[in-house]
């Protein structure tokens, strides 16, 4: 929570769509003492949310000061327009992961332009439904806010306060910028992960057996549900296709260069080297966490002894230091309790952490 | 170590190339009591390895019974051929990540066909050099062995014993099969990761700022060193190009479908849905660890309280159960100690783990 950063949004807030995100927003608002009304096409979902303390089921006389539409992108424009006519003075916002098309749909269907402002809290999960919601899901996350050229300042302000009341950090950009950004960093990578994983379908079982951590990392998100992703990719189709075209172009160059190398033109490998080097440069631009300054974490590698409980002992030891653990990767070896653990930390914490772990008898890699 | 699985390989073993893999093999052989001789183009590297207890520097009268060539793939064929004439009765093997071209080079340069057998221990690290070597680097890893049509049984057996003496599991396939397998599960994914990361170079900083865990996972290996990867991709050029062509083809289909959707042909989205579904199927074929049966791990998600030491307390609690932790992912929230931790375990361990963690006061996701 970051309540000190702003005044809480003025309720009552009507949340339409009590899935994971909608219910989490409702719980966060309740945590801040804001009145919340709940509505869902599936009354059972709304009741689950209400039973969790997310607010009250909206009745026919509801008069929300702000409406949050948390339904799939394909339906969001329609629901915003309906809310606009039902609640003639409320701020209208949504939380879908595609912005230009949703706002255009809402305006085309008659939503009041001055009260409409798009939003997208950046907190995905690989689960869904009200029962998975949490009041702290959005704490310290970015929440992108996309006003239109018509949005009035008071409604824009209300969207910001919604975000900060939920514990998130509002960041403003245009709807078109938002859609290109998420196409680049989320939607196209999702499809790429699926396409790579799809290449494994017809492979010999012996081939797949030798897969290592790299392939596992690259195909993890290919396990995500296809229904929501179909919806997202369909609604943000053109920006995603633009990113894919860039990827295809680079892959074609690399594949051509490799064919040339295979037929004896060894100098063509320079094209591949350049792409590998460009990849390392691009990689270095990714921030370590949502919104933090880009930073290359340093890794401290520890080889765990093959005994039960070593992982617990390691993390207990890390916890006794002041070092903040940014990430963890475990590289297992076949059939054993443990393996190599890579702890990602800020570069200036490496010496402290290595010394602390060595002094506790851990096998820290040089 | 799995010494009980076989008789140790007969020494002395000459390791040519005392980088990470060569020195780790030498240390593993020494651990098993096998005599080891060391050689490197850079005498300093060989001395580092010798000082670590990896063996003795090879003198002019060395008479190894087995030669392990652990130099980059571009040079391996030449070094194998040279070793063949220098040591007329020794088994000749290598440990490079490309097999067909290396063996063809060695044969073309006059290596003795009956003594030659390819090898590839599957244990990459993101570090290099003798100083990073470890005797247990290959414990419980797969070690692919690629005999040629000429390899005699006694030399094939020696390659197997080399693998088992180092603690690894030998798996046999043809050189061509090996190269197609690693192109699919390692070499092409490496290039794909780089190409995806390269798309970020010219992106607006605000776009990159919203990157999440999915993009970080998919571009992690793009940070790997370009020199070794240039060498590997160049030597395994054709199988990698074949995999890339499959990826390009699928991406083009998806991009075309998205363009059609953008211009109003909504039914084209089915192509994208199908690709997402194919990705989930392909993903499910990947084994959880090297050589283990393919298995979809189940995830137990725990939201940590924002207090120092919670991660340590969590892993200590896991350690008190009998549950084997397969993997861990931490999803941080901005500027806080902790966040959401996803513990991957065998599906039949989920209930046990959830109950154990709940009873210790952890906030386990439903």
Give me the mean pLDDT over the B323-341 stretch. Answer: 65
Q: Which residues contact A363 (CB under 8 A, 6 or more apart)?
A: A302, A303, A304, A305
Give me the mean pLDDT over the A156-167 stretch. Answer: 96
| Lookup result for tokens 């899935």 | A19
Of B217 and A331, the structure prediction assigns the larger pLDDT to B217
d(CA A298, CA A256): 35
Q: Please give, rounded to a whole number of angstroms, the shortest distance from the CA of A42 to a CA of chain B.
A: 20
Pick the most confident of A10-19, A123-132, B120-129, B214-223: A10-19
CA dist B251 → A201, A245, A248, B256 (Å): 16, 8, 7, 8
Decide if A328 and B332 are in contact by the 8 Å CB cutoff. no
Architecture in CATH of A3-173: 3-Layer(aba) Sandwich (3.40)
Give me the mean pLDDT over the A222-242 stretch. Answer: 89
Q: Are strands B327-332 and B363-364 parallel, antiparallel or unpaired?
A: unpaired
pLDDT given at position A288: 60
- Least confident window among A75-89, A216-230, B284-298: B284-298
Helix B153-165 vs helix B20-31: angle between axes, to the nearest 10 degrees? 90
Architecture in CATH of A298-364: 2-Layer Sandwich (3.30)
Of B361 and A319, the structure prediction assigns the larger pLDDT to B361
d(CA A228, CA A159): 25
Q: At B257, phi and psi to the nearest 5?
A: -60, -40
Decide if A207 and B309 are in contact by the 8 Å CB cutoff. no
d(CA B353, CA B366): 13
pLDDT given at position B10: 92
Task: Evaluate whether ipTM surpasses 0.85.
Answer: no
Res. B294: pLDDT tops 70: no
Nearest to A68 by CA among A145, A150, A134, A174: A145
B331 pLDDT band, cuts 50/70/90, is low
Per residue, the 3-state secondary structure of A15-55, as one string, reads: EECCCHHHHHHHHHHHHCCCCEEEECCCHHHHHHHHHCCCC
d(CA B16, CA B94): 9
Q: Which of B189, B277, B311 sits opposite A218 (nearest CB)?
A: B189
Tokens representing B177 are 């099969």
Domain with CATH 3.30.70.260 in chain A: 298-364
Of A205 and B293, the structure prediction assigns the larger pLDDT to A205
Per residue, the 3-state secondary structure of B190-221, as one string, reads: HHHHHHHHHCCCCCCHHHHHCCCHHHHHHHHH
- Least confident window among A330-334, A348-352, B56-60: A330-334
Of B174 and A122, the structure prediction assigns the larger pLDDT to B174
Domain with CATH 1.10.3660.10 in chain A: 179-283
Q: Which of A139, A215, A247 sits opposite B251 (nearest CB)?
A: A247
d(CA B300, CA B342): 6
d(CA B284, CA B282): 5
- Least confident window among A14-28, B220-234, B257-271: B220-234
pLDDT given at position A324: 73
Confidence (pTM): 0.80
Res. A293: pLDDT tops 60: no
pLDDT given at position B314: 81
Any idea what DSSP says for residue B136?
A: T
Cβ–Cβ pairs < 8 A, chains A and B: 459
Closest chain A residue to B236, measured at CA: A262
pLDDT given at position A303: 79
Q: In this structure, are residues B50 and B38 in contact, taking their beta carbons and an 8 Å threshold? A: yes
Tokens representing A307 are 């005994």
Q: Are strands B13-16 and B36-39 parallel, antiparallel or unpaired?
A: parallel
Res. B293: pLDDT tops 60: no
Which of chain A's residues have a Cβ under 8 Å away from the Cβ of B203? 181, 184, 285
Of A57 and B319, the structure prediction assigns the larger pLDDT to A57
| Ordered alpha helix ranges (H), chain B | 20-31, 43-51, 73-86, 100-108, 153-165, 175-182, 188-198, 205-209, 213-219, 226-235, 237-262, 269-284, 310-320, 350-359
pLDDT digits (tens, 9 = 90+) for A115-146: 999 999 988 665 678 888 999 889 888 999 99
- Least confident window among A139-148, A274-283, B333-342, B347-356: B333-342
Domain with CATH 1.10.3660.10 in chain B: 179-280
pLDDT digits (tens, 9 = 90+) for A238-290: 999 999 999 999 999 999 999 999 999 999 999 999 999 999 999 988 876 44
Cβ neighbours around A274 below 10 Å, total:
17
Sign (positive/negative) of CA torsion A82, A85, A86, A91? positive
d(CA B137, CA A61): 68
pLDDT given at position B345: 80
Of B7 and A256, the structure prediction assigns the larger pLDDT to A256
d(CA B341, CA B335): 16
Decide if B191 and A276 are in contact by the 8 Å CB cutoff. yes
Q: Please give, rounded to a whole number of angstroms, the shortest distance from the CA of A64 to a CA of chain B.
A: 30
Which of chain B's residues have a Cβ under 8 Å away from the Cβ of A222? 276, 279-280, 282-283
pLDDT given at position A32: 95
What rounded mean pLDDT belongs to chain B?
88
The secondary structure element, H or E, covering residue A191 is helix A188-198
Give me the mean pLDDT over the A30-50 stretch. Answer: 95
Beta bridge partners of residue B66, listed in sequence order: B13, B91
B242 pLDDT band, cuts 50/70/90, is very high
A179-283, superfamily in CATH?
A: 6-phosphogluconate dehydrogenase C-terminal like domain (1.10.3660.10)
Q: Which residues contact B75 (CB under 8 A, 6 or more apart)?
A: none
How far does CA B218 lie from the centroid of its chain?
Answer: 16
Domain with CATH 3.40.50.720 in chain B: 3-173
Nearest to B169 by CA among B218, B120, B129, B117: B120
Res. B128: pLDDT tops 80: no
- Least confident window among A22-26, B92-96, B326-330: B326-330
pLDDT given at position B127: 63
pLDDT digits (tens, 9 = 90+) for B35-47: 999 999 999 999 9
Q: Please give, rounded to a whole number of angstroms, the shortest distance from the CA of B302 to a CA of chain A.
A: 12
Which of chain B's residues have a Cβ under 8 Å away from the Cβ of A192? 192, 196, 218, 251
pLDDT given at position B214: 85
| E-state strands within A225-297 | none
Q: DSSP 3-state assignment of A122?
A: coil
Give me the mean pLDDT over the B234-246 stretch. Answer: 96
Q: Please give, rounded to a whole number of angstroms, the shortest distance from the CA of B91 to a CA of chain A.
A: 25
Decide if B314 and A309 are in contact by the 8 Å CB cutoff. no
Which of chain B's residues have a Cβ under 8 Å away from the Cβ of A328? 328-330
Decide if B214 and A189 are in contact by the 8 Å CB cutoff. yes
Which of chain B's residues have a Cβ under 8 Å away from the Cβ of A134? 303, 365
B333 pLDDT band, cuts 50/70/90, is low
Give me the mean pLDDT over the A347-354 stretch. Answer: 87
B2 pLDDT band, cuts 50/70/90, is very low
Class of domain B179-280: mainly alpha
Q: Are strands B298-303 and B363-364 parallel, antiparallel or unpaired?
A: antiparallel
| Lookup result for tokens 């509002």 | A170
Give me the mean pLDDT over the A158-166 stretch. Answer: 96
Q: Which of A184, A275, A313 sits opposite B191 (nearest CB)?
A: A275
A310 pLDDT band, cuts 50/70/90, is confident
B338 pLDDT band, cuts 50/70/90, is low
């Amino acid at each position: 929570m970051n309540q000190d950063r702003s005044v809480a949004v003025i309720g009552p807030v009507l949340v339409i769509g009590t899935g994971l995100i909608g219910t989490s927003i409702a719980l966060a608002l309740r945590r801040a003492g804001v009145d919340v009304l709940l509505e869902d096409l599936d009354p059972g979902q709304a009741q689950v949310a209400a039973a969790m303390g997310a607010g009250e089921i909206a009745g026919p006389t509801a008069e929300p000061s702000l409406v949050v539409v948390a339904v799939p992108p394909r339906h969001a424009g329609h629901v915003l327009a309906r809310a606009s006519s039902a609640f003639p003075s409320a701020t209208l916002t949504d939380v879908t992961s595609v912005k230009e098309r949703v706002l255009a749909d809402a305006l085309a269907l008659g939503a009041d332009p001055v009260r409409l402002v798009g939003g997208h809290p950046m907190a995905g999960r690989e689960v869904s439904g009200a029962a998975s919601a949490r009041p702290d899901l959005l704490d310290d996350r970015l929440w992108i806010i996309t006003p239109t050229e018509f949005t009035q300042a008071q409604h824009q302000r209300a969207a910001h306060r919604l975000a900060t009341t939920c514990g998130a950090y509002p960041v403003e950009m245009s709807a078109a910028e938002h859609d290109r950004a998420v196409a680049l960093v989320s939607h196209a990578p999702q499809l790429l992960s699926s396409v790579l994983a799809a290449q494994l379908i017809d492979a010999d079982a012996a081939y797949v057996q030798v897969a290592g951590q790299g392939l596992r990392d690259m195909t993890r998100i290919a396990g995500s549900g296809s229904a929501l992703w179909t919806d997202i990719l369909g609604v943000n189709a053109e920006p995603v296709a633009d990113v894919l075209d860039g990827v295809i172009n680079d892959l074609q160059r690399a594949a051509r260069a490799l064919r040339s190398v295979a037929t004896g033109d060894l100098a063509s490998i320079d094209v591949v080297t350049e792409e590998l080097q460009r990849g390392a440069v691009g990689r270095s631009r990714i921030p370590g966490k949502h919104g933090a300054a880009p930073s290359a974490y340093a890794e401290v590698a520890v080889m765990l002894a093959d005994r039960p409980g070593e992982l617990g002992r390691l993390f207990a030891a890390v916890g006794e230091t002041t070092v903040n653990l940014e990430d963890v990767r475990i590289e297992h070896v076949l059939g054993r309790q443990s393996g190599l653990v890579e702890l990602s930390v800020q570069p200036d914490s490496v010496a402290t952490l290595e010394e602390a772990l060595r002094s506790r008898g851990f096998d820290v890699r040089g």
